[in-house]
Each structure stands twice: as C-alpha cells, then as structure tokens.
A and B are shown apart, each in its own frame.
Chain A
Amino acid sequence: MQQGQLLLFVIALFPFISWFASRFFRNFEGLYNFSYYLFPILYLINLFQASQYFNLELNQLTILEAVRGLSMSIYVDKLSLVFLYVLGFIWLLFSFYATRYFQILNNKNSYFIKEYFLLIVSFLNFLILSENLFTILFFYICLIISSHFFGVRYLNFLETKFTKFFTFILYLESFLIFIATVITYKINGQIDFIEKIILPSNYDQLQHLIIFLLFFFGLFLAMSVPIYLFFKNIKFDSLILMVLFMVSYGFSSCFVFLKILNYIYGYKGLALITKTYGLRFFEIIVITNLVVSAIFFLKNNDLKSSSFFIFFNQFIILIFSIIVHASGKFNFAVISLIGFLINFTILFFCLGNFELYLHKSPNKSLNGIFYIMPITSVILFFGFLSLVGLAPSLSMVDKFTILLFLIKNKMYFSITILALNFIFLGIFIFKKYQEFSQKDCIIKSDGQIENIAIDEKILNLGKKIDIDSSLILTTLFVAIFGFIGLIFFSYITQFLSFYDAIKG
C-alpha cells in the first residue's frame, strides 16, 4: 500500500472510527464531548495533509473485488476533494452546534442523534470517495437503511410514518440506480469513474436518455413526485431536518448526480441529450413541485412545517440548476450544491436557536422574537435573503444563471413560475418578520393599543440563547461564509478548472 493509498484509507475510515469512539465514550460525558469536537478537526487537518499527496501519488484503493469492474473501491479526484472539505466543514459545525444545543435542551436522546449523524457522515464520506457505481450503490443503500433505522428509533409516530414512506420511495430509487448501473455495465463493460467518460457520446442517444432517466429517478424520485404533501402535519426538529434530509438525502443524491453527469456522460454527452430531447420533461417536474411547495409553505403558519416545504422548494431548484449547468458550466453546478448546503445550515441552526427558546420558555409563540433574540433573527433574515438569491450570497450564482438560461431559451412560463416563487418566498419572509417583530399588546378602554413589555425572565432566557457562543458563533460563521461565498467562487472554479479539459 502506497502512502497516498494509506492516507486515503485513513480518510475513508476516519468518520467510522469517530462513530465507534463516540459509542465507546458514551459513559464519559467529558471525553465524549471532547472527542466529538476533536474528530472533525482532525479529519480536516488530515484531509488537508492528504490533499497534498493526492496530486502526486496513486489515489485509488480497492477494498473488495468481485469480478473485474465490480469492486468496492475508493479514490479521490478534485470533485471529491471539494466535497470532502464541505463534508468536514458541515461535520465540524454540527459537532459544535449540536453538542451545545443538546446540553441546553437536556435531551436524553441526544447521544442517539449525534451518533446517527456520525454514521451518516461515515457513509457519505465513503460515497464521496466511491470509485464506481457499484460502491455508490452500496453506500447509498446504507444511507437509506440508516435513515429508516433512525426514523423508527428516534422519531414520533407521525414522523416515523413519513420517514417509513420516504424510505420506501428511496428503496425504489435504489433499485432504479441498480438497473441503470446494470445497463451501463452491460453496454460498456465497466462502471469505473477512473476511466473517465463511461458512455461515449457517439452511442445511441435514446439509450443514453433511458439511462439518464433511470439515474435521475433513481436519485430524485422522492422529489419528482411531491410525496411530502401527503404529510402536512410533519414538524421535524430543525437538526433532524438537517441530518435526515439535507445531509443524508440532499447532499448524497446531488453529489452522486454530479458525479454521474460528469463521469457517465461527460459534458458533451449530456449536452447532446439535452439538445436532442430538450428539457421540457424536467421543466414540468420542476414547475409542478415549485408551485405546490410554494403554496404549502405560504399556507402553513408553523415555522417548522414551512421550513420543511421550503427545503423541498429549494431542493428542486437545485436539481434544475445542476441539470442546466452540468453540460456547460460545471463549476456553477458545484457552487449551487455548496450554496444550498450552506443556506440550509444557516436556516436550520437559526431555527434550532428558536426551538431551544420555545422549549425552555413558557411563551410558546414566536411573536416578538426579534426583540428577544435579535442576533438569531438577523442571521435568519440573511439566510432567507440568501435563499431568494440576493447578492453576494453563493445562492445568487445559480438563481441568476438559471434565469439567464431560461431567458436565453425563451422559456417564459418557467421564468414566470420562478419569479413567482421568489415573490412567494419574499411574501413568506415578510409575513414571518412581521410576526417576529409583533409585540403582544392590549387594547385600552379608550381604544388605544399598548404594547406589553416582555417578561424579564423570558427576555433573559432568549438573550442567553441568542448570545451563547457555541450556538451563535457557528451560525454566524456559516452565515458569513454563505454571504461572502462569492469570494471563494473563483477559487473553486479554478480548482475545478481541469473539468473543462474533459468537456470533449
């Protein structure tokens, strides 16, 4: 085993080791928390060190091989490296935030959700490092099973019901990926990403399209049919939304999609498909989902439920952005995913702060929260603005370029829907902030309205959570990164520049 391979192996196993360690240290709280902070830091350091080697040495490792072309192998390329950093970053933030969050919440199940997150990170880490479709399939199914496991073990009845339904759709997804993998293997005899473009562009275009659709539905069937609407009363906690949907589902499926677009088709192959068959089909899926989710987040008064629908609303935009950009501006597709992850980390952390307040306080309403937790409210406001696509946030890139693409292709109906979606999101933000800044009041006998002063205890509690260093610093850090993310844009573009060379 060469040094590069050894480092790769260590990186692949690192989150698993941390998961085992956390289970082992469960009875020693101090050690547990310390290791929970330490591991992501070590992971990032290790990754940084290892990335120096990956450019020089052999960066591929076969763990188990069944037949030639069918193996469990890992390797690192630049795309994987970018997302390994993103994963490490999310892991670090989550560790700091969740530890403090659960300390304040005093939740007896905190160990479980924290360990589940580590397990998800472990599988996702392997998924990012996967060298072929076979390995991807394996870890994708592992993610599905662990999600199911988590849903059954941790969530309440309604949420469990939804999670079971969701994982049921995900099983179907995994089977579609399986079929797509088999077809790819059958027609080309290999499914390794290391061999660069797997399906040459001079192949039968219809065959390409069928495989593309199988992969698409294999990753986004749960998104394409708005199944989440069947469960209107779902109120997931923000950290669960983050772990279960953002990291486990959103991150993994979008990354795999990027990898498939890049290595199975290549830019030229994908461009040919879009040129031959157009984007009408995907446009319909996107528009339907946008409209439906927008109606639901606007109609819903509860912030938790609305965030659930906003998540799906933005997720569908992300998928469209990836499809639109992957055949021409791959770096934009990568940035879209990073922007999405950052935005929702901000959103879920801020919501987490509010949840803590609501849990501890006798006041169970968010009216006037702006005065009680001003910092969190402001950060959340910027988070929302970032979702709309306000400059200079990272999300601006994909929203702006999608609009440009639609205008260029004269897809006016889609432009209208997208614009309406932004307006709906704006209305939602306006409504929420109106609620946040609304103080409780009484109407006097002479008809005058007088605001009631906020109870001192509640105010203190809110302030305490609002300025809690672990909570607010992590949130602020992500917010700053998300909002000045464009500075890194050129860096990431430059880093990924070699992809232009294989456009064909």
Chain B
Amino acid sequence: MEIGTISNIYLLIFLPLFASLTCQIFQIKNFCFSISLLTVIAVFGLLVKVFPDVLIYEKIKNDYDLSLLSIALEFSLDLIGIVFLVVIIFLEAVILIFYRTDILKILNQRNQSNFYSVFLLNLFSLVGILTTNNLFNLYLFIEIHSFSFFAITTISHNKKLLDISFKNFCLSAVSSILILICFFAIYLTFSELNFDKIADNIFLMPASKIWFILMILLLFSLALIVKFFPLWQYFEKIKSTSLVASFLIIDAFFIKILVGLFLAIKFIYFFFGYNFLFSQYQFSPIMILTGFGLVLYSSFKLFKEHHLKLICIFFSISNIGFMISALGMQSVESIQSLFFFLINFSLINFFIFLFASFMKKNCQTSSINRIFKIAFASELSSIPFKLIVPFIAALPFTFLFFGYWYMALASMELNLKIIMIIGLIFSNFVQLNIAMKIIDSIIKNNNISKSNLSEYSTSKDYFQILCFWIMALTVFTTALLSESINDMSLRFASFLLANTI
C-alpha cells in the first residue's frame, strides 16, 4: 500500500479535529466559517483522491500496534465506508453552506465560533466512526458524536426544543451504555478489540455459546435504533421555523440515519455474518416484513400528506423500509437496490427537506400546495426543485427507478420476497402522486398575481440558492453517469456478499 494513501486517510481523519481547535482559538469574523468550509472541501477532496485506491484494493487499513486501544491510529477504509463517507461529507458541506446566513443572523461572534468548532468536532466523530476498525475507538467516536450533537442544541433558547433534545440525549446515553455492554462483552469473550480479529475468531466460538451472540445482536440492535434512528423524537418540531430545530432535524434525519445504516450493514455482514443471521437463524423474513411494514405505513401516510417536510420524512421511511428488506433478501440485486435507495435518500430526500425549510422560512408554510409562491417569486430557487420532480416521480434513469428495478428483480421469486412487489406498487404510486401534486402547484404559478404573495419574504439568501443548484447539479450528474453508478452498485453488492463471514 502506498504511504501517500495512508497519510491521506490519516489527514482526513484528523483534519476536522485540528480545524475545530483552530476555530476555538481564532474567533475572527467569517474566519470560522471559511475554515469549516475549507476543511469539509479538503476532506471531500481527500476522499475523492483515495476513492480509486479503495476501488482497487477494496479495503485499506493500517495499525501501528502501539497498544491494544491504539486510539484513532487504527483505521480501515473499505468500499462501504468510503461510499457512506462521500455521501455524508457531501451532505455536511451542503448543510454548512445552507445555514450560513441564518447562523450569521442569529448567533453572535462568540457563539458562531463555538458552533463551527462543534460542527467540526461532529465531523471528526463521523469520519472516525466510518473509518475506525477498533471497537473501543468506535465507542469513543459515537460518544463524541452524541455530545457534539447535544452541544449544538444548547445554542437554541427554545425550551421545547431543549426538552426534546434532552430526552434525545438521555435515550442516547442509555443506548451508549448498551453499546458499551456489548463491546465489553465482546472484549471479554474474544480478548480483542480489533474488528477483523474478532470476525476471524467468531468461528471458533462453541455452538453452546451462540445465545451470547444473540444477546449482543439484540442489545446492539436496540441501541442502534434508539441512537441513530430517532425519527419519532423530533416529529413534533418538524414544522418549526427555528433554525436550530431545522438544523438538528436535518442532522437527526439524514446524517444520523446514514451512520446508523452504515453500522447496521457493517455489523450484519462483517460481525454477525450471513451464516449466523440468515443460515442458522432465519432473520430474513423478519427483515423483509419489517421493511414491507415501513413501506406500507409511509405510503398510507403519504397519500394525504401535504406538508413537504413530512412528505420528505415519509419518503425517507419508505426508503429505509426498502433498504431493510433489501438487507433481508440477501441477493446481488437486492443490495444493488439498497445502494440506489441510499443515494435517493441522501440526495433527493435531503434536497426536498432543504427546499421545504427554505419554503417555511420564506413563505411561513411548507405546504405542497404553496410551492407556486416560490415558483412565482424566485425562479432561481424554484428551477432546481422543478428539475428534481422527475426524480420524485421515479422516471426511468432516476435513482428511485433503479432502486425499484433491482428491488423488483430481487422480489420475483415465489416466496415471501414477492410481497415487496405490493410495497413497490404503493410506493411507486405515492411517489408519482406527490410529483403530480408538485406539478399542479407549480402550474398555479400562471394563475396568481403579486397580491397573493403578501407573506413571501423578498430577501434572497444566495447561499441557500447556491445549495439548491449544487444539489440539482449533483443529482443530474450522478444520473447521467448511470452506467458508472450501476457498476458501482454491483461492486458494492459483490463486496458485501463476497466478504460476509
């Protein structure tokens, strides 16, 4: 392995930490934002640089074996990790730009520095979670992530939001304890904290002690759901116009879920493994049915939903449902569909949520029937959203279409898998229905006058508009590179299925 690649990976792990410290030290106007942005871009650039190497070697790892705990000096970056990292860092960059003006307005100089410092610390923890190969380090990074998340909430002066965040923090603490128990149990059993070594030793475990793994599975799943899928906790604040609420919800609904999905995939394939989950114990039907249930639930909810933020959340739940089913199906096609649902979730749903926040801020509403106001008042901000509509409608060559395509291919068997076809019908229909509602609302644009726009805020936030264009360009570029993306999905699926224990 080239030393350059390894140094790049170390750099991308530690750069956010150093940048965070710099923000704390130099509290100069605009400096912290610039440092944060440059750091995120640099991390993204490093990832792009390392990406071809990961594609070639599939897994790049390094450990100086200084001690058992070798804090943050031990990493392992594989195909799954880098895909998630690229997506998460990209989203973090967009979030940073999107909330720039709001943060400038709401926070004073001191708080701004704190905010960006915490933001970078959060980024450091995210990179750490996705690259570490050591259970202790993983626990450490998860804790840093929880603390930094909670630290951001303290900026808010909204009592309700603080209450919710405190509840979230308490639950997070409980799940941390569960994770700690799991990791401690693993250490006591295998006397190892290195992920690969544990995976190698898991075969040596006597059959009579298999219940032990089952217990770990149960506790870890519970901890993962509570910590990384906190969908229900922020539901009541989802329509809030508060900047901090919006920021936290985006973080909770997108970044946390992505990290949760990554950990779920990592542990399913490289810790518990195919033999244990799908051969010894039949977890496949449970996962398929859970996914199917989520898809149906979100489809029914979406049918009459008009609030764009909630629409986005139900879209996300539907995508997660499909991903869970895909994991349970255990075929190349199903994992390929998981890959596309993941991209759809990260790009399209995220974009819808950003647009909804923008609407809420400017029109005091994010109802789907009021999109015409944005379309009428600001072409510059509405065009990217209009361009995204085919992706919501799941037209061929969109991410969602390929997700459906591979899911349908994986479901065409005469067993439980076939119920996902029903899920596909419902999901496809509501997606199209929502796309049509958006078109209907945009068409209203021609029938309104300026007097109807009394409550529209005329001030333009160019940072937010820039974000929309970045998202739209990314979406279209990715869609146009469909051949490469399909190849990537195949690599992703092959890597998971070939390397599972």
Is B412 within 8 A of A72, CB to CB?
no
**Residues in B428-458 with C-beta less than 8 Å from chain A:** 428-429, 432-433, 435-436, 439-440, 443, 446
Interface hit among B179-187, B389-397, B460-468, B493-501: B389-397
With A66-B482, A67-B486, A148-B436 known as contacts, the answer to whether A182 contacts B396 (CB < 8 A) is: no
A25 within 8 A of B: no
Chain B contacts for A172, CB-based, 8 A: 429
Chain A contacts for B408, CB-based, 8 A: 178-179, 182
Residue B443 contacts which of A152, A167, A179 (CB distance < 8 angstroms)? A152
Chain B contacts for A186, CB-based, 8 A: 409, 412
Is B440 within 8 A of A152, CB to CB?
yes
Is B429 within 8 A of A64, CB to CB?
no
**When each residue 52-96 of chain A gets 1 if its CB lies under 8 Å from chain B and 0 otherwise, what string results?**
000000000000111100101000000000000000000000000
**When each residue 284-325 of chain B gets 1 if its CB lies under 8 Å from chain A and 0 otherwise, what string results?**
000000000000000000000000000000000000000000
Residue A175 contacts which of B393, B425, B433, B487 (CB distance < 8 angstroms)? B425
B33 within 8 A of A: no
Which of A135, A171, A172 has the largest count of B CB atoms less than 10 A from its CB? A171
- The B interface is mostly helix, strand or loop, or mixed, namely helix
A145 within 8 A of B: yes
Interface hit among A10-18, A136-144, A383-391: A136-144
Is A145 within 8 A of B439, CB to CB?
yes
**When each residue 134-177 of chain A gets 1 if its CB lies under 8 Å from chain B and 0 otherwise, what string results?**
11011001100100110011000000000000010001100100
Chain A contacts for B490, CB-based, 8 A: 67
Is B412 within 8 A of A183, CB to CB?
yes
Chain A contacts for B396, CB-based, 8 A: 72, 134-135, 137-138, 141
Chain B contacts for A70, CB-based, 8 A: 405, 486
Chain B contacts for A481, CB-based, 8 A: none
Which of B408, B409, B433, B435 has the largest count of A CB atoms less than 10 A from its CB? B408
Is B397 within 8 A of A72, CB to CB?
yes
Is B429 within 8 A of A171, CB to CB?
yes
Is B397 within 8 A of A138, CB to CB?
yes
Closest to A172 in B: B429
A185 within 8 A of B: yes
**B374 to A: closest C-beta gap in Å:** 18
When chains A and B are docked, how far (Å) is the Cα of A282 from the Cα of B395?
Answer: 30
A-B contact pairs, 23 of them (CB 8 A): A64-B480, A64-B482, A65-B482, A66-B397, A66-B486, A67-B483, A70-B405, A72-B396, A135-B396, A141-B396, A148-B436, A148-B439, A149-B439, A152-B440, A171-B429, A175-B428, A175-B429, A178-B404, A178-B405, A179-B408, A179-B421, A183-B412, A186-B412
A residues sitting closer than 8 Å to B (CB atoms) are: 64-67, 70, 72, 134-135, 137-138, 141-142, 145, 148-149, 152-153, 167, 171-172, 175, 178-179, 182-183, 185-186
With A64-B397, A175-B424, A179-B421 known, 16 other A-B pairs at CB within 8 A are: A66-B483, A67-B487, A67-B490, A72-B397, A134-B396, A138-B396, A141-B393, A148-B436, A148-B439, A167-B436, A171-B428, A171-B433, A175-B429, A182-B412, A183-B412, A185-B409
